[in-house]
């Protein structure tokens, strides 16, 4: 099924996810195949929880369980700071079988909070 027609929305469910970002690609939000939903990512905050060391982050959209496209690419997140990778001014839409993923330069240094809406 294709993404729902946003002119015919029946339900919008707001959600928040918190994820520790690993050194290998970590799913922040996934829109399952055949979900019948469109996911609107409203914001992504990446916090460096390491009090001493900087870390870099890649945030990407993986299309249809295949090719990935970067939103950020090795962006530095200094110790004890937060990066806004996606904001409500420039939301990202995930169709069925798409994922929003992140990778950190060091495991256990970065955490993400994602605000999103499931639209059906």
Q: State phi, psi for 82 to the nearest 5 degrees.
A: -130, 140
Given a cut of 70, is residue 25 above it in pLDDT?
Answer: yes
Q: Indicate the pLDDT class of residue 3, thresholds 50, 70 and 90.
A: low
Per-residue confidence (pLDDT) for residue 113, from 0 to 100: 98
d(CA 74, CA 14): 29
Query: Are 34 and 96 contacting, i.e. CB atoms less than 8 angstroms apart?
Result: yes
Q: What is the pLDDT of residues 36-88, one digit of tens each?
A: 899 999 999 999 999 999 999 999 999 998 999 999 999 999 999 999 999 99
Give the model's pLDDT for residue 8. 82
d(C-alpha 9, C-alpha 67), whole Å: 28
Cα–Cα distances (Å) from 105 to 21, 65, 80, 94, 112, in that order, read 9, 23, 15, 25, 14
**How confident is the prediction for the chain on average, in pLDDT?**
94
**Domains of the chain in sequence order:** 8-119 (2.60.120)
Q: Angle CA(62)–CA(27)–CA(48) in degrees, nearest 5?
A: 115
């Amino acid at each position: 099924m294709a993404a729902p027609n946003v002119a015919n929305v029946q339900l919008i469910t707001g959600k928040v996810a918190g994820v520790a970002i690993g050194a290998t690609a970590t799913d922040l939000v996934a829109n399952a195949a055949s979900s019948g939903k469109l996911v609107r990512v409203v914001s992504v905050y990446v916090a460096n929880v390491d009090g001493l060391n900087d870390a870099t982050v890649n945030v990407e959209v993986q299309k249809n369980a295949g090719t990935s496209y970067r939103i950020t690419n090795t962006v530095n997140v200094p110790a004890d700071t937060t990066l806004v990778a996606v904001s409500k001014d420039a939301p990202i839409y995930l169709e069925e079988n798409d994922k929003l993923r992140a990778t950190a330069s060091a495991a256990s240094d970065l955490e993400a909070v994602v605000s999103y809406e499931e639209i059906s």
